[in-house]
Amino acid sequence: MNDVKLVAAFAENKPGQVAHFTKILASANINIRWLAVASTGPFGVMKFLVSDPEMACQALKHEGFVTKLVDALAIEVPDKPGGLHAVADCLASHNINLDNASGFITNNRAIMVLEVPDAARARDVLQKQGFRVLTQMELPV
Amino acid sequence: MNVFDRRYEMMPRAELEQLQLERLQALLVRLKRNVRRAREKIGDTRVESLADLARLPFTTPEDMVDSFPYGMFALPMREIIRLHTTVGPQGKPLVIGHTRNDLAQWGRLVARQLVAIGVTANDVVQMCFGGGVYGAAGYLFGAQVIEASVIAEDSAHVDYQIATLQNFQPTVLITTPGNALDLMQVMEQRRLDPQSLHIRTVLLSRPVDHETRERLAAGLFARVQCNFGLGEILNPGLCVECSAGHFHVHEDHFLAEVQDGELVLTTLCREALPLLRYRTRVRCELTREKCSCGRSGARIVPGERLDGRLRVNETPLYEGQIAGVLARTKAAGQPFTFTVSERRIVVSVEISDDLFADAVGLIEELTREIESEFLARLGIEADVRFISPRSRAGVDTELDADSKTED
Ligand SMILES: [Zn+2]
């Protein structure tokens, strides 16, 4: 099992925060594949899908940011109508809640990033249905 | 001249000091006979003149906390007919007992203030303290003494307060500065003409600066006067603000001194809970210069608190209480900073790895939880926000490749 890890970082809601993070990661030579900002007023949680999550965490911590690794699933879905819906449908039919979901497209591949309460079980369910669940290594560069 | 108790309020200085001396000697007898703590501290000290006061021991707010609730009462509970509470150091509760005589005196002392601002038996008095009847108790006793008509209603909501002002047409409004400002603002928003009301005088529960007083006077179209009191001594009823704008201590009841800039008061007549040389923790200037109003009681100018007591929306607050609220939440022990405005506090709590690990996505929820804890435990509105530790360290202004912070 090699689930994907997201780097979650606590961010105050003020100008330049995203730039802070990206600058730190860039100088640590870490590629950011995807990022999401969940903001609730005075603060937000920023989540990154990066080439090396452990190192990204360390780099951010070193600069005084509070971070944590979050389990997630990265699923490659066909880049065609209904592709995303099929994944959501599959999880719903197994009573699995989505804490968070979003996606990105890179090199003509559509990747869905899911946060679910029980990643291992969701992975099983999806794989049984024939979905391609990516490992950290399989993520597109 | 609007003087309720001419004999005492305008008593010639020499006569007043003789009265104080006699009352002080009687007080010492009562204390030594009835209060163990006082007996031990006073010992054999004899008082032959007011100058001997300096040889008597102080009583501190901490003494009152130590003896909570009834340790300093000078009479058995059978004689005590009322227990009022007030706030002591670090927000700890204090109990102030009153006998039947104490309550009667309280009313007469507050009546001095009401008469001084022109309240008579013909007036209708509205009191808005928004917290039930007890914040207004002293004013109620005072109004009762001069037989003014008191509206027995204390609406927390400004809408009802305005409705009461319109329906009952009170001529005197007694309220907190915060509430008076709210009232004024709502009336301005609704374009209600203050002249359509009948308020002649507004008595505020605590002193405000000159500018606020002027604003309220214009906004409510009334004369604005202020009270100054202390929960442990008497509030209201400690002093009277005269027409010349000075606070005169009721010196026939309270012996006032200033020690190291701090107001020190002795209750000369209180039966249930007499206090000897009580350190009020309020900075104060005191003068016994003559006043144009003719009152002989010492004039005081109260200043800032000396014990770090803050005020948020008319509620006393100490920094330790903020930590105390946080201690009951998941954010226990986290470093924090805070700022206080008139109405609320803003508390910035440092996030930790543990908190964040526990609550990614639930931080918002935790924030609400802590805010409701502030309201429930301290009765104040708080804006709680989490900040990065780096933010407090002051390194968040510019991310500089050279300025590394080690953790
Ligand atoms: Zn005067």
Encode pLDDT of B252-271 as tens digits.
999 999 999 999 999 999 99
Q: For residues A141 and A52, which has the higher predicted lDDT (pLDDT)? A: A52
CATH, range B6-98+228-307 = 3.40.50.12780
Share of chain B above pLDDT 90, in %: 85
pLDDT in tens, B271-315: 999 999 999 999 999 999 999 999 999 999 999 999 999 999 888
Q: Is the confidence at residue A28, as pLDDT, over 70?
A: yes
pLDDT score recorded for residue B26: 97
Q: How many residues does chain A have?
A: 141
Q: What is the pLDDT of residue B361?
A: 62
- Rounded to whole angstroms, how far apart are CA atoms B332 and B186? 39
| CA pair distance B26, B46, nearest whole angstrom | 12
Q: Is the Cβ pair B390, A64 closer than 8 Å? A: yes
pLDDT of residue A139: 80
The region of weakest confidence among A78-82, B167-171, B348-352 is: A78-82
Tell me if ipTM is over 0.95. no
Q: Which among B363, B386, B388 is the nearest to A64, CB-wise? A: B388
Most confidently modeled of A47-51, B16-20, B33-37?
B16-20
Asked whether the predicted pLDDT for residue B154 surpasses 90, the reply is no
Cα–Cα distance list, B391 to A64, B233, B388 (Å): 9, 44, 5
Chain A contact residues (CB < 8 Å to B): 8, 10-12, 16, 19-20, 23-24, 27, 38, 40-43, 45, 61-68, 70, 99-100
User: Cα separation of B200 and B220, whole Å?
Assistant: 9
- Structure-block tokens of residue B320: 């330790």
Report the pLDDT value the prediction gives residue B360, as an integer from 0 to 100.
59
pLDDT at B1 over 70: no
B158-168 and B177-189 helices cross at what angle (nearest 10)?
A: 80
Q: Which pLDDT does position B399 carry in this prediction?
A: 39
B386 to chain A: nearest residue by CA? A43
pLDDT at B403 over 70: no
User: Of B392, B394, B396, which is closest to residue A16 (Cα–Cα)?
Assistant: B396
Reported as a single tens digit per residue, the pLDDT across B47-71 is 999 999 999 999 999 999 999 999 9
pLDDT in tens, B134-147: 678 999 999 999 99
Report the pLDDT averaged over residues B221-248: 96
* Cross-chain residue pair A24–B356, CB shorter than 8 Å: no
Give the three-state DSSP class for B249: strand
Q: Is the pLDDT of residue B158 over 60?
A: yes
Greatest Cα pair distance, chain A, in angstroms, is 44
Judgement on whether residues A39 and A82 belong to the same structural domain of the protein: no
Task: Report CB contact under 8 Å: B385, A68.
Answer: no
- Name the residue with higher pLDDT: B393 or B236: B236
At residue B357 the predicted structure's pLDDT band, cuts being 50, 70 and 90, is confident
What digits encode the pLDDT tens for the residues A98-109?
887 788 887 778
**Same-domain pairing of A66 and A97:** no
Residue B96 has pLDDT above 90, yes or no: yes
Residue B404 has pLDDT above 50, yes or no: no
Lowest-confidence range among A2-6, A56-60, B25-29, B155-159?
A2-6
CATH code reported for the domain at B311-399? 3.30.300.30
- Do A12 and B389 count as a contact with CB atoms less than 8 A apart? no
Supply the pLDDT for residue B80.
Answer: 97
For residue A24, the chain B residues in CB contact (below 8 A) are 399
Asked whether the predicted pLDDT for residue B21 surpasses 60, the reply is: yes
Could you say which of B388, B395, B405 has the minimum Cβ distance to residue A66?
A: B388
A12 and A65 together in one domain:
yes
Q: Is B360 on the interface with A (CB under 8 A)?
A: yes
B399 reaches A (C-beta below 8 A) = yes
Q: How many domains does chain A have?
A: 2
Say whether pLDDT at B400 is over 50: no
Q: What is the per-residue pLDDT for B405?
A: 38
Q: In angstroms, rounded to a whole number, what is the distance separating the alpha carbons of residues B110 and B339? A: 35
Q: What is residue B359's predicted lDDT score, i.e. its pLDDT?
A: 62
Best of A5, A6, A7, A12 to substitute, by most chain B Cβ atoms within 10 angstroms, is A12
Kindly determine whether residue A10 and residue B407, on different chains, have CB atoms separated by under 8 Å: no
CA nearest to B389 within chain A: A64
User: Are A53 and A78 within one domain?
Assistant: no
Closest CA to B335 of B391, B379, B383, B382: B391
**B37 within 8 A of B44, measured Cβ to Cβ:** no
- Kindly report the backbone phi and psi dihedral angles of residue A42, in degrees, each rounded to the nearest multiple of 5, phi listed first: -75, -15
The domain in which residue A39 lies consists of: 4-70
> Element (H or E) spanning B26, and its range?
helix B13-34
Residues A89 and A130 reside in one and the same domain: yes
Q: Which residue among A36, A70, A104 closes a domain?
A: A70
Q: Residue A1 pLDDT more than 60?
A: no
Q: Does B382 touch chain A (CB under 8 A)?
A: no
> Comparing C-alpha atoms, which of B354, B400, B233 is closest to residue B302?
B233
Give tens-digit pLDDT for B213-232: 999 999 999 999 999 999 99
* Local confidence band at B108 (pLDDT 50, 70, 90 cut-offs): very high
- Do A80 and A129 lie in one domain? The reply is yes
CA–CA distance, B196 with B164 (Å, rounded to integer): 13
Question: What's the B294 CA to ligand 1 centre distance in angstroms?
Answer: 6
Q: In which band, very low, low, confident or very high, does the pLDDT at B401 lie, cut at 50, 70 and 90? A: very low
Indicate if A50 and A107 belong to the same structural domain.
Answer: no
- Output the pTM of the full model: 0.84
Distance CA B265, CA B193 (A): 43
pLDDT at A108: 77
DSSP B356-367: HHHHTTTHHHHH
- A43 with A87, same domain: the answer is no
Q: Are B308 and B346 in contact (CB under 8 A)?
A: no
Specify whether the CB–CB gap between B106 and B141 falls below 8 A.
Answer: yes
Inter-chain CB proximity B387 and A43 less than 8 Å: yes
CB–CB contact A63 B363 (8 Å): no
pLDDT at B226: 97
State which amino acid sits at residue B141: F
Does the structure show a pLDDT above 70 at A18? yes
- CATH number where A127 lies: 3.30.2130.10
β B124-128/A132-134 pair status = unpaired
Cα B240 to ligand 1 centroid, rounded to whole Å: 8
Please report which confidence band the pLDDT of residue A40 belongs to, taking 50, 70 and 90 as the band edges: low
Q: What percent of chain A has pLDDT over 90?
A: 24
Contact A64 B405 (CB under 8 A): yes
pLDDT of residue A4 exceeding 80: yes
Tell me the β-bridge partners of B85. B95
B352 at interface of A, judged by CB pairs closer than 8 A: yes
The C-alpha atoms of residue A138 and residue B364 are separated, in whole angstroms, by 34
- Give the end of a domain, one of A70, A85, A113: A70
- B407 and chain A in contact, CB less than 8 A: yes
Nearest CA in chain B to A100: B361
Q: Encode burial over B369-403: b for 16+ CB neighbours within 10 A, e otherwise.
A: ebbebbeeebebebbbbbbbbbbbeebbeebeeee
Say what the pLDDT of residue A19 is. 87
**A97 token code pair:** 């809640």
pLDDT recorded at residue B103: 97
| Whether residue A58 is found in the same domain as residue A79 | no
What does the alpha-carbon distance between residue B186 and residue B174 come to, in Å, rounded to a whole number?
A: 17
Contact B267, B253 (CB under 8 A): yes
Higher per-residue confidence, A18 vs B247: B247
Neighbours of B26 (CB within 10 A): 13
Tell me: do A37 and A59 sit in the same domain.
yes
Percent of chain B at pLDDT > 70 equals 94
Q: Where are the domains of chain B?
A: 6-98+228-307, 311-399
When the pLDDT of each residue in chain A is averaged and rounded to a whole number, the result is 85
Domain co-membership, A131 together with A107: yes
Check if B365 contacts A (Cβ < 8 Å): no
Q: What does the alpha-carbon distance between residue B179 and residue B385 come to, in Å, rounded to a whole number?
A: 27
Could A63 and B389 be called an inter-chain contact, meaning their C-beta atoms sit closer than 8 Å? no
Helix axes B177-189, B210-220, angle to 10 degrees: 40
- Residues A128, B136: Cα–Cα separation, whole Å: 72
Residues in chain A closer than 8 A to B335 (CB atoms) = none
Query: CA B94 to CA B104: how far, in whole Å?
Result: 21
- The string of DSSP codes covering B182-228 is HHHHHHHHTT--GGGS---EEEESS---HHHHHHHHHHHTSEEEE--
Residue of chain A nearest B348, judged by CA positions = A42
**Do A40 and A8 share a domain, yes or no?**
yes
pLDDT for the residue numbered A102? 81
pLDDT above 50: residue B407: no
- Rounded Cα gap, residues B399 and A15, in angstroms: 12
Interface size, chain A vs chain B, as Cβ–Cβ contacts under 8 Å:
66
